[in-house]
Structure 1
Amino acid sequence: MTVSRQDYPKDAMAAVVPVMEESLSDALEEIETSHNSRSGAVTKSLNVALVRCVGDPGAVMLESWESWLLAMQVHSAVFAAAVPEGEAVACKIRQEERHLATTGPQTYLNASTWLDAFYLAVICREAARLDMLARVPVSLLRDFGGTLDEYAYAWVETLQSFWLHHRDDLRTHLVRAVDLSAPEQARVLDAETMSKLGYPPIMLLYRYLRNDVAGFNEALADAVRWHKEYWTADEDRTHNIQGVVALAPLAIACLAKANGIPVEIESGYLPEALLDFAWRGEFEA
């Protein structure tokens, strides 16, 4: 089954890539010590990865893969430095070792950013970074000073339990995540965002855990279709680069494919080279 991706102004977006890259490089210059730079690098690194997939929907170009790898490195690095254990934490970013001062809770270290970090590490098949992310205390994510829907924390706990093979906890957290992602439970998100973006990855993981090939692909088709519906609902969303890739469904699809479940859905929202891990062994992450 194929789910087509919406059209984007490729030439216009290609023209802004150098500007975005320069802004990201500026943020990376001070990522070792500046909270503003870390927050900016998190947002900018993912945006660059997404915008590169406008003109390269399969993520087959070297520059595209490098941008996804960098986004993964940045997102993982800020969480590696989140739990104070010393004066600095060594992290590889753009093939260079950086020493990030440890921080404790910060506004950018929230459950939403953690989920993006987890998805990026799955897409890049980075087991060591997933090990680290799975041990980030949920209490730290709650201390960021803002408000998120409770489902986000249940979903974080589900993914942590899954990765750490805590099966009893996984069942408990997964059921809770399903319950809390019902549209009527939305408080911060609206019901549409919850049903079309929040809930689908949870159901995908459930189908994966049951090794339900047909159910998994049906759920993946639904997730990508709902992603498209959400990001084409109005003009503002249509021009938002957050819709270029279905990040969470892509990550669960990568997980499934790596573990023998055939992925039968083709879509520009699921870049083929990322899904297939086409750059395996080309870079040291």
Structure 2
Amino acid sequence: MWSDACTTLAVDRRAANLETWEAWTAAMQIYNAVFDITIPEPGTPVEFMFDHKVRHTTATGPRYFADAGVWDMAFYLAITCRDQDRWTKLCHIDVELLRRAQQGQGREYNPFTYHWIAARQAYILHRPNLVEELTAAMELSDPARAEFGDPDYLNKVVFPQMNTFLTFAQGDSDGFNEALANGLTLWRDYNTANEERAQDVKNVTPLGLLALACMGYDRSFHEAGFRLEVESDYLPKHIVERSWYGEFDI
């Protein structure tokens, strides 16, 4: 579903067409449905929306594919779709469940990944451990301390998201815009460094930075002095400005 959403967005870079919004929300629904189905006790009736229809199934209990990477996608997509119920539910998921999912599939994430998730959960749920978790995430994502991973990816894709989030959490409007703009530049540099990355349709937008841009845009409506000033082809205008929000149930 993510590939479908990116393919649609690649043709409609501003997300001006309703079909783009439909593909985008469908991806959000699928990624969030993973946790709707795996978090409750096995056998619990589950209801979720997909493709304009309410679907019914039963919970399976924990599964290996409900891991940190899928959580990231589900969270960011929920933010861009402005679905507070979904992103709040995701923030109540115990990080240890995501860690166990990783172990169950033999897939490994850097330790900073779980601090980064915990930091976002702390921000959304007003928990007191935000500074502690974000500091740990930023420090452990340093290529000198990360257990593995491409240093360029860590420096140009991972860290800029955290830095932009930090300025947002601090309420620093100027710093937020500077960090976001710098993050977009670094993301572009990384994803155009070779032909394979440049031709990958899934690189049509930096989802984490897009979600943060949406948060900045929304914040500007209820907090004097905070504003989103960054415009970019990597930030689809009609997703950032929630032009299609409320067009249909999601």
Match of 1:68 in 2: 24
Aligned counterpart in structure 1 of residue 173 of structure 2, from 213, 232, 241: 213
**Aligned to 1:97, what secondary structure does the other structure show?**
strand
Report the CA distance between 1:189 and its aligned residue. 2.2
Per-residue deviation, residues 81-108 of structure 1 (Å, max 9, x unmatched):
1213252311111121112332333332
Instruction: Please show how residues 95-114 of structure 1 align to structure 2 within 5 Å.
Output: 95-114=52-71
On the 8 A contact 2:111/2:140 being kept in 1, the answer is yes
Aligned counterpart in structure 2 of residue 280 of structure 1, from 229, 245, 248: 245
Per-residue deviation, residues 104-128 of structure 1 (Å, max 9, x unmatched):
3333211111011100000000011
Per-residue deviation, residues 223-254 of structure 1 (Å, max 9, x unmatched):
11111011101111111122101100010111
1:53 aligns with 2:14: no
Counterparts of 2:202 and 2:33, CA distance in 1: 22
Counterparts of 1:107 and 1:46, CA distance in 2: 19
Counterparts of 1:273 and 1:183, CA distance in 2: 35
Q: Which one-letter code corresponds to 1:130 in the other structure?
A: W
Match of 2:204 in 1: 244
Match of 1:153 in 2: 114
Match of 2:223 in 1: none
**Aligned to 2:118, what secondary structure does the other structure show?**
helix
Q: Which one-letter code corresponds to 2:158 in the other structure?
A: G
Q: Which one-letter code corresponds to 1:58 in the other structure?
A: R
Structure 2 unaligned segments of length 5 or more: list them: 221-225
Counterparts of 2:47 and 2:97, CA distance in 1: 20
On the 8 A contact 1:231/1:243 being kept in 2, the answer is yes
* TM superposition score normalised by structure 1: 0.81
Per-residue deviation, residues 171-219 of structure 1 (Å, max 9, x unmatched):
2111111111212223342111111111111111110111111111110
Match of 1:196 in 2: 156
Q: Which one-letter code corresponds to 1:53 in the other structure?
A: L
Q: Which one-letter code corresponds to 1:134 in the other structure?
A: C
1:186 aligns with 2:146: yes
Q: Which one-letter code corresponds to 2:140 in the other structure?
A: L
Q: Which one-letter code corresponds to 2:6 in the other structure?
A: L
Q: Which one-letter code corresponds to 2:11 in the other structure?
A: G
Counterparts of 1:142 and 1:191, CA distance in 2: 23
On the 8 A contact 1:106/1:143 being kept in 2, the answer is no
On the 8 A contact 1:104/1:140 being kept in 2, the answer is no
Match of 1:226 in 2: 186
1:172 aligns with 2:132: yes
Q: Which one-letter code corresponds to 2:69 in the other structure?
A: S
% identical aligned pairs = 34
Runs of 4+ displaced beyond 4 Å: none
Match of 2:98 in 1: 141
On the 8 A contact 1:80/1:132 being kept in 2, the answer is no
Change (3 A) 1:104 1:197: farther
**Aligned to 1:90, what secondary structure does the other structure show?**
strand
Q: Which one-letter code corresponds to 2:108 in the other structure?
A: T
Structure 1 unaligned segments of length 5 or more: list them: 1-44
1:269 aligns with 2:229: no
* TM superposition score normalised by structure 2: 0.92
Change (3 A) 1:188 1:103: farther
Report the CA distance between 1:70 and its aligned residue. 0.6
Match of 1:92 in 2: 49
Counterparts of 1:58 and 1:158, CA distance in 2: 30
